[in-house]
Structure 1
Amino acid sequence: MKRYLISGILSLSVIAFSYSSLTWAQEEKKALTAEEIAEAQKKLEEAQQKLKKTVKNLPKVENAGSITGVVTCQKMRNNADAVVYIEKVGENKFPPPAEHAVVDQLNLTYVPRVVALQRGTVVDFPNSDAVRHNVFSPPTAALQFNLGTYPTGVVKEVSFDVIGETPLLCNVHAEMAGYVVSFDNPYFAVTDKDGNYTIEGVPPGNYVLKTWHEKLKEMSQDVTVEAGKATTSNFELKRRR
């Protein structure tokens, strides 16, 4: 499902337009001072914190437990953006959320870089930069699409009715990259910079817990979740060969 909306860009418009001139300067290849670069990075990090990295429709479960832990990502700048998920819960039949996920385009960057969501979730792709962008996925993606080139102030939508990894690219800016990772059930979490994650509301039972990372090997562990208790499961992810 795709449709075009002309609007004042969601909750991040103020941040986007406050440094739109800086972004435009980058496009024109003008030199930036160290102070300008630091300020742009600060505003980008603030924007990253304002958008959800997970979108799910979590059912209410009596006596639910949780899974928590730390993921260490070897030879990476930090431990952020690894996804930890339960492979199967019951029959893996869960209705998708009505809430849309958002992947914005700010300062020639996808924000957030990684979004995890349930199958059937709609993702909004606003352009909050002062330059035109094109969002598309490669032929190897779980979902193939191409939104065409569009200017600032436009939002386009895609329904992710698939399971798996969908890389995000831009025909205009080759350096831009992001990921949408979609699952059958709502029991997943994305790690923070320190590698922390928590999966809430898990029905008691035995499960296979897995990881996803854009550059590192997948790992899995068997876990048992007890009623009202937190199960700890840590991972150390290594580079793919």
Structure 2
Amino acid sequence: MKKYFPATLVILALILFASLTNAQEDEKNLTAEEAKIMQENLKKSMLALKREIKTEVNVENGSTITGNVTCKRVRYPENVVVYIEKIGDNKFPAPEEHGVVDQFNLTFVPHVIAIQKGTTIDFPNSDSVRHNVLSPPDCPMQFNLGTYDVGVVKHVTFDKSGEIPLLCNVHAEMSAFVLVLENPYFSLTGKDGVFKIEDVPPGTYKLSAWHEKLKTITKDVTLKAGKTTSMDFQLKKRK
């Protein structure tokens, strides 16, 4: 598994910032189409940041859970986190790998990141303006990184599980979510709504599906050694 350590992340942030700055400085010398392509390519590189950070687990003759999520009144069934609530005593070593939530074009990227409890997330500012990253007071873990300059990277270790909204008090339109989970058995859907959780010890578990706007659904699932079990979810609006 590829790991991102603080020094590497700083370099990544500086490269992205330099690319954005150079693009802005050279924009006068580019055609409108060339400038558009440059901005789109930079944005694609930002979107390639990982959306799941967890400890790698290997279980001999482990089970697999796979399935599809559909969402009512949501265009795509993406950014749904499907996770097992408890595996044994839920005591797993925290990942060494850092997550990254960047800031670009007045947007947090990625919009949703699922992490195992104990994970550190780096918050570089790769935008062209200053930003602030904070969580609201009514969430499981409150923090405020203050307003900081372009090119700066700040860090938060998430040691409490739950749904952590991300806000910027400089730009009210910015929002994102960190879902902090007790164990590494989770999967985050893309636009196709497909999820897959592998190397699960055989047993009976509570499997939940979370979405920022929809009601969380929990189902019982029984897994057999070496077998794949299919489980689908249909999420509806919260009441």
Q: Same fold (TM over 0.5)?
A: yes
Q: CA offset at residue 221 of structure 1?
A: 1.1
Give the letter for the 2:126 counterpart: S
**1:12/1:47 contact within 8 Å kept:** no
Q: Secondary structure at the match of 1:11?
A: helix
Q: Secondary structure at the match of 1:44?
A: helix
> Which residue matches 2:60?
62
**Alignment match of 1:228 (pick from 217, 226, 229):** 226
Q: CA offset at residue 11 of structure 1?
A: 3.4
CA–CA distance in 2 between the matches of 1:51 and 1:8? 11
> Which residue matches 2:164?
166
CA–CA distance in 1 between the matches of 2:9 and 2:229? 43
> Which residue matches 1:85?
83
**Alignment match of 2:238 (pick from 233, 237, 240):** 240
- What does 1:19-38 align with in structure 2 at a 5 Å threshold? 19-20=20-21
> Which residue matches 2:212?
214
Q: In the superposition, relative to structure 1, how do residues 216 and 8 fare at CA in structure 2: closer, same or farther (>3 Å)? A: closer
Give the letter for the 1:67 counterpart: I
Over residues 138-168 of structure 1, what are the superposed CA-to-partner deviations in whole Å (9 max), with x where a residue is unaligned? 0111110000011111111111000101100
Q: Secondary structure at the match of 1:141?
A: coil
CA–CA distance in 1 between the matches of 2:39 and 2:218? 38
> Which residue matches 1:11?
12
Could you state the TM-score of these two structures normalised by the residue count of structure 2?
0.86
Give the letter for the 2:103 counterpart: Q
**1:209/1:222 contact within 8 Å kept:** yes
Q: In the superposition, relative to structure 1, how do residues 37 and 220 fare at CA in structure 2: closer, same or farther (>3 Å)? A: farther
CA–CA distance in 1 between the matches of 2:39 and 2:141? 32
> Which residue matches 1:73?
71
**1:23/1:129 contact within 8 Å kept:** no
**1:93/1:185 contact within 8 Å kept:** yes
Over residues 93-149 of structure 1, what are the superposed CA-to-partner deviations in whole Å (9 max), with x where a residue is unaligned? 111111111111111111111111111111111111111000000011111000001
Q: CA offset at residue 42 of structure 1?
A: 6.1
Unaligned stretches of 5+ in structure 2? 1-5, 26-31
Q: CA offset at residue 15 of structure 1?
A: 4.5
Over residues 62-107 of structure 1, what are the superposed CA-to-partner deviations in whole Å (9 max), with x where a residue is unaligned? 1111111111122112111010000111111111111111111111
Over residues 168-218 of structure 1, what are the superposed CA-to-partner deviations in whole Å (9 max), with x where a residue is unaligned? 000111111001111111101110111111111111111110011100001
**1:69/1:196 contact within 8 Å kept:** yes
> Which residue matches 2:110?
112
Deviates further, 105-114 or 223-232 = 223-232
Q: In the superposition, relative to structure 1, how do residues 225 and 162 fare at CA in structure 2: closer, same or farther (>3 Å)? A: same
Percentage of matched positions with identical amino acids: 51
**2:72/2:235 contact within 8 Å kept:** yes
Runs of 4+ more than 6 Å apart: 5-8, 21-24, 33-39
**1:137/1:167 contact within 8 Å kept:** yes
Unaligned stretches of 5+ in structure 1? 25-32
Alignment of 1:125 onto 2:123: yes
> Which residue matches 2:183?
185
Q: In the superposition, relative to structure 1, how do residues 86 and 19 fare at CA in structure 2: closer, same or farther (>3 Å)? A: same
> Which residue matches 1:27?
none
Give the letter for the 2:215 counterpart: K
Alignment of 1:147 onto 2:148: no
